[in-house]
Amino acid sequence: MERAGRSSTLGSSDEVELEPSGNSATIHLDMTAGGGSSSSDFNPFGAIDDVRFKTDDDLPDVMVPPFFSKYGDFHTIDWQRDLARDRLRHKMISKKKVDFPLGLLQSGWDAGAGWICVLFVGLAAGATAGIIDIGARWMSDLKTGVCADRFWLDREHCCWSSNDTFYKDDSCSAWTKWPWMINYYNSSSLLFSFIEWIFYIVWAVAMSTLAVLFVKIFAPYACGSGIPEIKCILSGFVIRGYLGKWTFIIKSVGLILSSASGLSLGKEGPMVHLACCIGNIFSYLFPKYGLNEAKKREILSASAAAGVSVAFGAPIGGVLFSLEEASYYFPLKTMWRSFFCALVAGIILRFVNPFGSNQTSLFHVDYMMKWTFIELVPFALLGLFGGILGSLFIFANIRWSRFRKNSKMLGGNPIYEVMVITLITAAISYFNPFTRKSALSMIQQLFDRCEDQVEEDSLCDQNKALSIAFGQLLWALIFKFIITIFTFGIKVPCGLFVPSIGMGAIAGRILGITVDQIFRAVQATPGHSEYFTCQIGKDCVMPGLYAMVGAAAVLGGVTRMTVSLVVIMFELTGSLEFIVPTMVATMFSKWIGDGISKMGIYEAHIELNGYPFLDSKGEYPYSTVASQVMRPSIHRQVADEMSMSDLRELKNELSVITESGMTLGDLESLLRQTDFNGFPVVVSQNSMHLVGFITRRDILLALHTARKTQPYVVTNSIAYFSDGVPDSVPGGPAPLRLRKILDMAPMTVTDQTPMETVIDMFRKLGLRHVLVTKNGKVLGIITKKDILQFMRNKDSQ
Amino acid sequence: MERAGRSSTLGSSDEVELEPSGNSATIHLDMTAGGGSSSSDFNPFGAIDDVRFKTDDDLPDVMVPPFFSKYGDFHTIDWQRDLARDRLRHKMISKKKVDFPLGLLQSGWDAGAGWICVLFVGLAAGATAGIIDIGARWMSDLKTGVCADRFWLDREHCCWSSNDTFYKDDSCSAWTKWPWMINYYNSSSLLFSFIEWIFYIVWAVAMSTLAVLFVKIFAPYACGSGIPEIKCILSGFVIRGYLGKWTFIIKSVGLILSSASGLSLGKEGPMVHLACCIGNIFSYLFPKYGLNEAKKREILSASAAAGVSVAFGAPIGGVLFSLEEASYYFPLKTMWRSFFCALVAGIILRFVNPFGSNQTSLFHVDYMMKWTFIELVPFALLGLFGGILGSLFIFANIRWSRFRKNSKMLGGNPIYEVMVITLITAAISYFNPFTRKSALSMIQQLFDRCEDQVEEDSLCDQNKALSIAFGQLLWALIFKFIITIFTFGIKVPCGLFVPSIGMGAIAGRILGITVDQIFRAVQATPGHSEYFTCQIGKDCVMPGLYAMVGAAAVLGGVTRMTVSLVVIMFELTGSLEFIVPTMVATMFSKWIGDGISKMGIYEAHIELNGYPFLDSKGEYPYSTVASQVMRPSIHRQVADEMSMSDLRELKNELSVITESGMTLGDLESLLRQTDFNGFPVVVSQNSMHLVGFITRRDILLALHTARKTQPYVVTNSIAYFSDGVPDSVPGGPAPLRLRKILDMAPMTVTDQTPMETVIDMFRKLGLRHVLVTKNGKVLGIITKKDILQFMRNKDSQ
């Protein structure tokens, strides 16, 4: 994994990393003079491994070389600590403000850095999206043929530029179909179709194979949708290289290839991932963000908004998506900047103009008609259907993903899996006009009103063609549903928005046609036409609207998005008129879906992958208190009734460090014997009164430095975490001062605090661990891992 | 204040109120069996007065009758405690679920209550807004005349229904102007105008006087915009009667009167207040919300969204407004429900159709043209102007409000003040066509494109009329600015949105006309016309767009809204095209405004009124730690270097209760001697190790109950807050068990915790106080009041 190595170099530039530590020491002195030292003056190198991933490699020997990287891979960041570091940095710069002009300039640059950074991100995200859209369309058309004289044009532009009148069935004479290449022109014969079919399949398999090869060789993180991981990263998880430049490049190329291959996948989810890669890469231009994981997430949050903005041409929807789904610690603070970023990205995409029109939105819909109140019933039915289909999809996809994960055959051979899936998809979808065309143009066709059709559209024909189309739609729905279950999760870049919208649009159109036919039949019955104040087929029962509502319903059922989904659909149509149908469908879909299973597809994948994600929504009505969840756990008795002797017993289970009295050797053996990632520091083993907290990494680093730089420090030296350090102990070795690495402001709760409050603290304050106390004595510790474990146990009960 | 009394009866229904307390005792036993008691089992009556308002009336005697009302007036609610109470209630209902069918029904009702409640709120808010709009328009037209045969029609409908062709200058023969009443028909004469002017003034003064009388007599809380108070209420402040039914009725009537009187005020801000009243009133139908102040705020948050939705016809803008400005504790949880509420309200308003068209938005704008990039410069200039004007307005208005507050003459005579302001407004505004018409139609005219004008519009004339109109606009701007400073804050219902939009629209139109003229002049110069790819006056430089951008800029400068403002403007126009100009103007306006003064008009009024509002946005880079802010304060030394003797000294300043050993008499004298609203409970005076926290109100109630119901409890009885209570003390009086009223889960921080973290905890967890500890010993307490005091001191430095 060469790429991962490169990315992490970016993140751990030694010289820059060391600076804040030096600064904090200076500041420490200032602040002590000002009255009390702040908790922000401890060493910034430490990290607690509070998830399942253990850093076993630094266990065997205490004398490990210092880590310059702030957080290890798969670790969770400490929001409070990182933000404290940023405040320190900010104070430094504010002080320099008086130095004219350099200090002032630096201060101004610092204040504007966030805006400049998101401006760049927006520009880059818009441009990237435009290029990918153009590339994907060109390659997608390659499956059927090539532009004769200008091979770089896609079919539409080829036919436009060729200026000939023969333009039917989406084709023209300038567009050379593959069978023509081998001099076979009789397009109505079976052999023609067979040759075309073979070419179709070969191209599709070739593209997807190329995509999976790129991903496997260069950037394993480039596969999938990326949204589950983005959610975790924004919640404070560190996955090195996930947002690196190699992931970006390979995912962009792979996305063009995979979406051109005709697989049942979308570009929209990966676009969010790509935008976040861009955000991450640009943040390194601004040390304020690049070197501070917590601050960097402000940029990433804006980037996610830009990603949705370019994916759907919906800037407001993007901001709300970022707010509802992605952001974690600062939902409101960065909203304005996210909006700016999303808007810039949307404008740039419009300049690139990949959709070939002046429309900013992915599907331009322009209904001028009204829906009637009675139609809310079929809309609600669509919502119901969406909820059920979505839950079914999640269930099946997760089962298959788990099987893939555990199966040696599938897990080890992603290339064969992709090839097989592509082969099946291409082979079957060729025969259905709805699955054969790209998902986007299928959705556009389903959304459209009948009047707008220039060419003949079987969906708008009132004769036999409609019933054939109806059957084709039904078949397309079933096929799409089954193949998408197996497609989402293969090792190519693949999103789920467009397949979901596609399924929903088909289902909606099917219902729309049915309702339309029923209304027509009723109206045709003598004496019933007066029931209708609207003209059927003209200004009531519009199957295109049903398709749109169905799309929202299924997308809602799969992702469980709410406001952002409705707003995205609103921005697609630009009319307040259709918010109500969309909203009704989304509400029913969400209710039914949540009734079947609480988790959306992203949450389900997060759980499948075991990421430490603590959902920022949802309520947990548990009747549990902190002492029942903490470690060491109290089995014998409830904490409530503990006597002093019980406390003493418990103490032996909790590894603590005393404020003074422990020797360097004691500390080293404690580190060797345990694998905890941090230790409470107490006044004495007897009293257990809490003084502070120290992380394993900090103490390792400190002891290492002490052994190296202070030769008079020996194994018998007594380590002091307190203030009253004797200058020298008569007859003993020199004391070791460790006060500065001690976190004097650990978060604490009492043993009787309800778990809901503790969970609230973890979510809202971005904690990694909390100490449990009773009457001022430390009883235990609760980490984020414990919380997640507890919630999972409770949920499964 | 009869009204206040009535409202508070609603809030303190004795029987219902007592129930949860009984339940909690039951639950307590269950939970002890399950392992440890929860903090949620303490008595729900207590409240800490953590703001400047003191409840001195319960100080002199300990034996006060119990309070059944949950929180006192002007108190802050305890979010954690209220939410714990709700979880208890939820558990009770979940348990009953198995009882078919009643339990199941109740459970279903409970789950759907929130949705049903906001549905009602939406329906009522939409209807109210429609009625107010119709009423205000009718009464506003009354200033000039009356409909001859159908007096209940406003001018527009009167002229429509009369069907006569004489319809010019917004008038018709069916519409009887007042001078006609006294048989004076020569409308071009000076006398006619004079008579009309007199009538205009008399009506205006009559209406506003009626409004202020209603407000003064029936509902003092009905005056003003209400948004600052709504912000405080949503942040957890209790103002009894502020959202009561009397306030609602009087504010509705007063709003019609005051906006009809032609004063420079808007209906939009008060609409948010009215919607919140509706939310409050409906919440009493659902005990889940009505009896729990924290839960009630979920409904109020949705109501605020509905208020903005009906005010501007902008449901998404409403949700974002609620999110950005109003909501506090649960920004995301209630978003989906808020959206539903806002949408329902918007639909209902549309059915009522007060704007007389099918437009849902307040100002329907339908530009089909583009702006050019060079125009971003004047748009940015408008932003600059908006920021400066807004800040100037805030400064002047606050100065005047402070003067009004402190001046006996003005404060005591709100009626005269209103009369004088109305007199001046009416007398002057009659002579300017822009100020004479209602603010809404003026804004509509300024927003409009010139092509759309059916009648002659002086603004679109390229001849002399334009320069006259230009002068009138300038005059209108100055007049509006000055009069609004004095108007906002008078004792009638008055909002600031429309006056701000009005000022901005005028300023924008002025700039638009200027730019238009410059462009025309340049184009007219020989050899320069090729610079323009667009046709001036047709598809470039549209003064109406400038007016819109100016409106956003000034509104942004006054309120400092960001995303919600842009989205509201977007919903007004329905086109993505104009988001960019609006956004540029809003950004500049916000930057300039924040550069001049950080506070928007609402924050400034909150500070002026001394409400305990802790802003949920903003960063506070202080280098202070908890021990420097807590009370009792440590003057002598930094907490860092405190020895045990210092701690002992400090202890004497902090009033604590010991876990056991204090007699009932000791407690009573402690309560008499101090006016603290809560006391930490410690193991012993010597150790000061924290056990829990108890509020003054809880302890008062408990002692009162004990004296009344347990005759064996005497002054010498020892009060036990611990578990190990002897059944009887040999030779002594019976012990008093007070464990159940003890909060075993107080929030604590260590003395070295940075204040930023403490503030973050207060904001995000909705705390009222936090205990400061060091090595497990209680040092002091920090209340919300201390935090606000600290922040104000820091800000003024």
Judged by a CB distance cut-off of 8 A, whether residue A346 touches chain B is yes
Q: Give the model's pLDDT for residue B539.
A: 58
Contact A323 B340 (CB under 8 A): no
Domain shared by B128 and B212, yes or no: yes
Domain annotation covers residue A789: yes
CA nearest to B329 within chain A? A764
Domain annotation covers residue A432: yes
Q: How far apart are CA B630 and CA B773, in angstroms?
A: 10
- What are the pLDDT digits (tens) for B661-686? 788 888 888 888 888 888 999 888 88
Last residue of a domain, one of B578, B609, B640: B609
| Nearest beta carbon to residue A335 from set B90, B563, B723 | B563
CA nearest to B742 within chain A? A752
Per-residue pLDDT band at A341 (split at 50, 70, 90): very high
Residues of B in contact with A757 (CB under 8 A): 39, 80, 84, 745, 765
**Statement: residue B65 has pLDDT above 50:** no
Amino acid at A542: M
CA distance B748 to chain A (A): 7
Asked if A252 and A132 count as a contact pair (C-beta separation under 8 A), the reply is yes
Total tally of structural domains belonging to chain A? 3
**Statement: residue B687 has pLDDT above 50:** yes
| Mean pLDDT rounded to a whole number for chain B | 78
Judged by a CB distance cut-off of 8 A, whether residue B640 touches chain A is yes
**Statement: residue B595 has pLDDT above 60:** yes
Per-residue pLDDT band at A356 (split at 50, 70, 90): low
Asked if B694 and B721 count as a contact pair (C-beta separation under 8 A), the reply is yes
Residues of A in contact with B751 (CB under 8 A): 36, 744
- Window 546-565 of A: residues touching B by CB (8 A cutoff) are 562-563
Residues of B in contact with A590 (CB under 8 A): 336
Scan for tokens 């020797």, then name that residue: A663
B146 - beta bridge partners? B176
| Nearest beta carbon to residue B775 from set A90, A627, A690 | A690
Last residue of a domain, one of B298, B318, B352: B352
Domain shared by A672 and A761, yes or no: yes
Interface test with B, best of A40, A310, A338, A339 (most B CBs within 10 A): A339
Any idea which of A114-128, B240-254, B525-539 has the lowest mean pLDDT? B525-539
Domain shared by B528 and B495, yes or no: yes
Domain annotation covers residue B111: no
Asked if B513 and B466 count as a contact pair (C-beta separation under 8 A), the reply is yes
- Window 700-729 of A: residues touching B by CB (8 A cutoff) are 723
- What are the pLDDT digits (tens) for A698-730? 888 888 888 877 777 778 888 888 776 666 666
Domain shared by B695 and B589, yes or no: no
Q: Dihedrals φ, ψ of A678, to 5°?
A: -170, 160
Q: How far apart are CA B384 and CA B594, in angstroms?
A: 11
Residues of A in contact with B754 (CB under 8 A): 38-40, 84, 87, 745
**Statement: residue A57 has pLDDT above 50:** no
Domain shared by A666 and A568, yes or no: no
- What are the pLDDT digits (tens) for B714-733? 788 888 887 766 666 666 67
Interface test with A, best of B775, B778, B779 (most A CBs within 10 A): B775
Contact A757 B748 (CB under 8 A): no
**Statement: residue B705 has pLDDT above 60:** yes
3-state secondary structure A409-468: HHHHCHHHHHHHHHHHHHHHHCCCHHHHCCHHHHHHHHHCCCCCCCCCCCCCCCCHHHHH
| Mean pLDDT rounded to a whole number for chain A | 78
Residues of A in contact with B31 (CB under 8 A): 623
Q: How far apart are CA B279 and CA B326, in angstroms?
A: 14
Asked if A647 and A656 count as a contact pair (C-beta separation under 8 A), the reply is no
Q: Which residue has the higher pLDDT, A86 or A251?
A: A251
Residue B350: both structure tokens together: 């549309």
Domain annotation covers residue B165: yes
Interface test with A, best of B309, B750, B751 (most A CBs within 10 A): B750
Contact A621 B756 (CB under 8 A): no
Domain shared by A292 and A264, yes or no: yes
Domain shared by A649 and A746, yes or no: yes
CATH at residue A436: 1.10.3080.10
Q: How far apart are CA B381 and CA A289, in angstroms?
A: 31
Per-residue pLDDT band at B538 (split at 50, 70, 90): low
3-state secondary structure A663-688: EHHHHHHHHHHCCCCEEEEECCCCCC
Contact A580 B360 (CB under 8 A): no
Domain annotation covers residue A97: no
Scan for tokens 């600076």, then name that residue: A19
Is residue B142 exposed (0-12), middle (13-18) or buried (19+ Cβ within 10 Å)?
buried
Does ipTM exceed 0.85?
no
Following DSSP, what letter does each residue of A679-722 receive, concatenated?
EEEES-TTT-BEEEEEEHHHHHHHHHHHHHH-TT--TTPEEE-S
Residues of B in contact with A360 (CB under 8 A): 576
Amino acid at B325: E
| Nearest beta carbon to residue B773 from set A570, A641, A776 | A776
CA distance B380 to chain A (A): 15
Domain annotation covers residue B102: no
Q: Give the model's pLDDT for residue A163.
A: 60
CA distance A476 to chain B (A): 33
Judged by a CB distance cut-off of 8 A, whether residue A757 touches chain B is yes
Judged by a CB distance cut-off of 8 A, whether residue A323 touches chain B is yes
Q: Which residue has the higher pLDDT, B391 or A49?
A: B391
Per-residue pLDDT band at A208 (split at 50, 70, 90): very high
Domain annotation covers residue A378: yes
A682 - beta bridge partners? A658, A690
CATH at residue B695: 3.10.580.20
Which of B750, B431, B486, B663 shows the shortest CA–CA distance to A746? B750
CA nearest to B625 within chain A? A38
CA B107 to the chain's CA centroid? 33
Q: Give the model's pLDDT for residue A510.
A: 93
CA nearest to A747 within chain B? B749
Any idea which of A452-461, A487-496, A623-632 has the lowest mean pLDDT? A452-461
Judged by a CB distance cut-off of 8 A, whether residue B753 touches chain A is yes
Contact B87 A751 (CB under 8 A): no
Asked if B625 and B752 count as a contact pair (C-beta separation under 8 A), the reply is yes
Per-residue pLDDT band at B121 (split at 50, 70, 90): very high
Contact A638 B35 (CB under 8 A): yes
Domain annotation covers residue A757: yes
Residue B536 three-state SS: strand
Contact B567 A80 (CB under 8 A): no
Per cent of chain B over pLDDT 70 is 78
Establish whether the linkage from the previous residue to A101 is cis, with ω within 30° of 0: yes
Domain shared by A423 and A567, yes or no: yes
Per-residue pLDDT band at A87 (split at 50, 70, 90): confident
Interface test with B, best of A578, A594, A757, A774 (most B CBs within 10 A): A757
Domain shared by A336 and A386, yes or no: no
CA distance A382 to chain B (A): 18
Q: Give the model's pLDDT for residue A162.
A: 66
Q: Give the model's pLDDT for residue B367.
A: 62
Q: Give the model's pLDDT for residue A43.
A: 34
Following DSSP, what letter does each residue of A34-75 receive, concatenated?
HHS--GGGS-TT-----SS---GGGSS-S-PPPP-SSS-TT-
Q: How far apart are CA B625 and CA A394, in angstroms?
A: 48
Residues of B in contact with A616 (CB under 8 A): 332
Q: How many other C-beta atoms can be found within 10 angstroms of the C-beta atom of residue B677?
A: 20
Average pLDDT over residues B692-719: 82
Residues of B in contact with A623 (CB under 8 A): 27, 30-31, 34, 38, 91
**Statement: residue B421 has pLDDT above 90:** yes
Average pLDDT over residues A765-785: 89
CA nearest to A115 within chain B? B587
Any idea which of A90-94, A211-215, B178-182, B311-315 has the lowest mean pLDDT? B178-182
| Nearest beta carbon to residue A343 from set B319, B580, B616 | B580
- What are the pLDDT digits (tens) for B455-477? 456 677 666 677 888 889 999 99
Residue B141: both structure tokens together: 């037209």
Any idea which of A193-202, B234-243, B565-574 has the lowest mean pLDDT? B565-574
Average pLDDT over residues A372-376: 81
Is residue B206 exposed (0-12), middle (13-18) or buried (19+ Cβ within 10 Å)?
middle
Q: Ramachandran region of residue A46, left (φ > 0), alpha (ψ -120 to 50) or beta? A: beta
Contact A84 B749 (CB under 8 A): no
Judged by a CB distance cut-off of 8 A, whether residue B617 touches chain A is yes
CB pairs under 8 A between A and B: 238
Question: Which residue segment(s) compose the domain that B681 sits in?
Answer: 626-796
Average pLDDT over residues A268-293: 92
Domain shared by B666 and B769, yes or no: yes
Scan for tokens 């005990």, then name that residue: B287
CA nearest to A570 within chain B? B316
- What are the pLDDT digits (tens) for A676-694? 888 999 888 888 888 899 8
Asked if B797 and B773 count as a contact pair (C-beta separation under 8 A), the reply is no
Per-residue pLDDT band at B529 (split at 50, 70, 90): low
Q: Give the model's pLDDT for residue A61.
A: 27
CA distance B694 to chain A (A): 15
Scan for tokens 């560190």, then name that residue: A238
Q: Which helix (H) or strand (E) holds B507?
A: helix B497-524
Last residue of a domain, one of B580, B609, B638: B609
Average pLDDT over residues A563-582: 80
Q: Dihedrals φ, ψ of A408, to 5°?
A: -70, -40
Domain shared by B772 and B714, yes or no: yes
Domain shared by A526 and A630, yes or no: no
Interface test with B, best of A310, A336, A559 (most B CBs within 10 A): A336
**Statement: residue B454 has pLDDT above 50:** no
Q: Give the model's pLDDT for residue A629.
A: 85
| Nearest beta carbon to residue A36 from set B37, B563, B752 | B752
Judged by a CB distance cut-off of 8 A, whether residue B748 touches chain A is yes
- Window 78-107 of A: residues touching B by CB (8 A cutoff) are 80, 83-84, 87, 90-91, 94
